[in-house]
A and B are shown apart, each in its own frame.
Chain A
């Protein structure tokens, strides 16, 4: 077996485990820390798929900015009330998700996906090619994204402001 396949198996097992911990742990801070692990593992998968720039952004934006925001809100609110655990509801949700996973996997792995990748050029996934694509073909969505971020900032300030 190829070394990359073994690495893929190790990372996927760890990724599924940490994702399950995000969902099933009782303590919210533990959930957030498990989510950081999951995001790091996904960043490693991105690097394995010749997307180093996106992997770095994943670590910076998700594991850095967004997780700090989550932890800040957790510590700010300090939610101490423990959730009641209802077995029926958990069984129902897990069954629905299992059904979804089975149908998605069956749909996605229908054999039409290319088994062997197109051989990538030397510069594939480098910051240079990414920026070239971002600022030529996708320049209008890029500008719209900046407007979206501005709206999000204003909305967050208005929503979280203490009422006089």
Chain B
């Protein structure tokens, strides 16, 4: 049986890779995909703890996280389409109307 630490370190690494994507990519769609990656890393932590503590609550929480992630993807992509229609770009650096 794989120790719990391995799963936790793996999900920390996946989460950090998602953070890189959010920080440095200049394409809104890839930024949204990196956010999905980060959510999945957290889901992996939940499932690993659920197994090692033999509690079903972690798996139920993961189902809620999936529903929220689906809603987030839908709204995010609708905003991307709306922004692209107005500004003809997907670069978040170009979206600075609210910048002080």
Contact = CB atoms under 8 A, between A and B. Distances in A.
Interface residues of B, number: 70
Contacts of A19: 14, 17-18, 37
B15 to A, nearest CB: 7
A105 B74 contact: no
A83 B23 contact: no
- Which of A16, A90, A117, A142 neighbours the largest number of chain B CB atoms within 10 Å of its CB? A117
Contacts, number: 237
A120 B54 contact: yes
B45 to A, nearest CB: 8
Q: Is the interface of B mostly helix, strand, loop or mixed?
A: helix
Contact of A38 (B23, B37, B82): B37
Contacts of B95: none
Q: Is the interface of A mostly helix, strand, loop or mixed?
A: helix
Given A76-B81, A90-B24, A97 B19 contact: yes
B51 A73 contact: no
Contact of B56 (A74, A133, A149, A152): A133
A51 B36 CA distance: 20
A57 B64 CA distance: 11
Contact of A15 (B14, B16, B89, B91): B14
Nearest to B85: A162
- Which of B5, B36, B59 neighbours the largest number of chain A CB atoms within 10 Å of its CB? B59
B74 A53 contact: no
Contacts of B26: 83-84
Interface in B53-84: 53-54, 56-57, 59-60, 62-64, 66-71, 73-75, 77-82, 84
A22 B56 contact: no
Contacts of A151: 71
Contacts of A35: 33, 36-37
A5 B8 CA distance: 15
Contacts of A156: 74-75, 77-78
Closest 10 CB pairs of A and B: A101-B16, A152-B71, A93-B24, A93-B23, A159-B78, A118-B54, A104-B12, A108-B8, A23-B21, A109-B5
